[in-house]
Amino acid sequence: MDLLKIAILFIITALAEIVGCYLPYLWLRRDGSVWLLLPAAASLGIFAWLLSLHPTAAGRVYAAYGGVYISVALVWLWKVDGIRPTGWDLLGVCLCLAGMAVIMLGSR
């Protein structure tokens, strides 16, 4: 699987996880409907399935996925929560993505 496809798969996987966690948050903290739990459960199921599509060992995928998850979560913070990431947030994302690159692209 080429690098672009893996990156897109990581991003979609992160979105599925974030949606699966954000909907119960809306229910619990913002008086949302209990019906939000159904699409949340579906989203988390899709998240688990998407993780299984990655072409390398599960532990390596989980470790590398963390960097992408953090990046997508900060975009979510900005676009959904309306809070612009700080310079420190961006530095943290860069460090996480560098770690992800070492894990995924390092020699075996």
pLDDT digits (tens, 9 = 90+) for 32-84: 899 999 999 999 999 999 988 887 777 788 888 888 899 999 999 999 999 99
Q: What's the confidence (pLDDT) of residue 51?
A: 86
Q: What's the confidence (pLDDT) of residue 42?
A: 98
- Residue-number span of the structural domain to which 22 is assigned: 3-105
d(CA 8, CA 44): 18
Q: What's the confidence (pLDDT) of residue 7?
A: 84
Split at pLDDT 50, 70, 90, the class of 88 is very high
Number of domains comprising the chain: 1
Entry pTM: 0.84
N residues, the chain: 108
Q: Which of 47, 89, 51, 48 is nearest to 71 (CA)?
A: 89
Cα angle 75, 8, 19 (rounded to 5 degrees) comes to: 50
